[in-house]
Amino acid sequence: MKLDVNVLRYLSKDDFRVLTAVEMGMRNHEIVPCELIDRIARLKHGGTYKVLKNLLKHKLVHHDSSKYDGFRLTYLGYDFLAIKTLVNRGIFNGVGRQIGVGKESDIFEVVKEDGTVLAMKLHRLGRVSFRAVKSKRDYLRHRSSYNWLYLSRLAALKEFAFMKALEEHGFPVPQAVDCNRHCVIMSLVPGYPLNSDCRTYKNGHNSVQVRELQNPDVVFETIIAAVIRLAEHGLIHCDFNEFNIMIDDDEKVTIIDFPQMVSVSHPNAQMYFDRDVECIYKFFAKRYNMSFEENENDSDGLEVEIDEVGRPQFSEINKNSGFLDKELAASGFTRKDQDELEKVQSRTRQATKENGKKFYLLSWQVDFVGNKHFLFLLCYSLLCLQLIEGELEKQSDSDDEGTADE
């Protein structure tokens, strides 16, 4: 989605009043009736409908007249409300280029008055299609659609709270600056995600390789030590992989992306922890040919018990861990918020996986059809079928003739 902040400049006070009225109406309505928007906005000189038309033109609201005449906010409308609030607070005063597109977020550079560049993450839950998920009906049993804006706000609130707490406990995370609605402002991490650390470009006849880790062993150890320390503090990242670990030119590690974190007391904590660890082991094994099985019972610089396949043991870490999870539980991000967010996050993971599977199947089919042996086999089978059909027809003709004769 394009975030054209220039529109922001041309929006009047009344435009923002009406946009805010739509947002307020959405607390109780999926689609806010026009009369209610008018009543909440209470424009001095009237004209709510005209303003709504202008907002619609800029795609800040969506019009729905299926049940009654009403509007709801779009993500763009929600973006503008958050950006305006943060600009008014003096957090930044300009929006720059887009620097990242996540599964369910857009990341932009924003600039402060003194020229400092920060990162702005706009959460966009609901972007991953749920069509593939069988349990969708279940999930939406009591509602015709889900309030993605509300869930995105929860994700941002959680991400901000967790980032702040982690930073205070000395974890290598971006500095949490501020949060409003579905938007989190944090320090800009120099560098690039670990997954893009090594690229081979064809430059004419030469292949040029850039960005390869100089000390993969050290980086690996730092990352695994961080995931262990996190668990010792009572938390599991739950999406700990090469896409959510940033590396700078000095190979300093920064962990990002926290909306899915859980406490070590979560019923699936063991599975989440093992999955996080496995992702990192797999990545380093594949990209840097690192071998771990050989290091059996040798903690390889890590001060933690490892299992028979050389992985840190969650049960050992969990024995004396946990306080940050309890601290965060008291941070305003309630148990109910956590449950609601988690429900949708697990659906999203499932949808991503199922969409991924479908794509894999499709590409496999395309590959298979593209295979010349397969094509030859197909032609041959069709030919055989035609021959058999011809024979059968001949036979039934002669049968018919036989019956007619009788």
Cβ-Cβ contacts under 8 Å for 336 (sequence gap 6 or more): none
**Per-residue x/- track, 171-200, ligand ADP (CB under 6 A):** ---x-----------x-xx---x-------
Residue whose C-beta lies closest to ligand ADP: 102
Nearest 10 degrees: Cα torsion 295, 300, 304, 310: -20
Q: 96: how many CB neighbours lie within 10 A of its CB?
A: 14
Question: Measured between alpha carbons, how far is 15 from 32 in angstroms, rounded to an integer?
Answer: 16
Scan for tokens 């305006």, then name that residue. Answer: 84
Tell me how far apart the alpha carbons of residues 269 and 323 are, in angstroms, rounded to a whole number.
15
CA-to-CA distance for 72 and 25, rounded, in angstroms? Answer: 9
Q: Provide the annotated active-site residues.
A: 239
Rounded to an integer, what distance in angstroms lies between the CA atom of residue 17 and that of residue 46?
12
Please count the residues of this chain forming the interface with ligand ADP, following the rule CB under 6 A. Answer: 18
| Binding residue for ligand ADP, selected from 78, 80, 243, 333, defined by CB under 6 A | 243
The residue sitting closest to Mg ion, measured at its beta carbon, is 257
Q: Are 153 and 181 in contact (CB under 8 A)?
A: yes
105 belongs to the binding site for ligand ADP (CB under 6 A): yes
Q: Choosing among ligand ADP, Mg ion, none, which partner's interface includes residue 184 (Cβ < 5 to 8 Å by kind)? A: none
Given ligand ADP, Mg ion, none, residue 241, with its beta carbon under 5 to 8 Å by kind, binds none
Decide: is 348 part of the binding site for Mg ion (CB under 5 A). Answer: no
Does 244 interact with Mg ion (rule: CB under 5 A)?
yes
Residue 121 as a binder of ligand ADP (CB under 6 A): the answer is: yes
Residue 106 touches which of ligand ADP, Mg ion, none (Cβ within 5-8 Å per kind): none
For residue 104, the minimal CB distance to ligand ADP (Å) is: 5
92 SS3 class: coil
The residue within the footprint of ligand ADP, chosen from 15, 79, 232, 257 (CB under 6 A), is: 257
Residue 33 interacts with ligand ADP (CB under 6 A): yes or no: no
Does residue number 102 form part of the binding site for Mg ion (CB under 5 A)? yes
| Encoded tokens for 35 | 């009369």
| 31 φψ region: left (φ > 0), alpha (ψ -120 to 50), beta (else) | beta
Rg (CA), the chain: 28
Q: Which is nearer to ligand ADP, 32 or 236 (CB)?
A: 236
Residues interacting with Mg ion, by CB under 5 A? 102, 244, 257
Residues interacting with ligand ADP, by CB under 6 A? 99-100, 102-105, 107, 119, 121, 174, 186, 188-189, 193, 243-244, 256-257
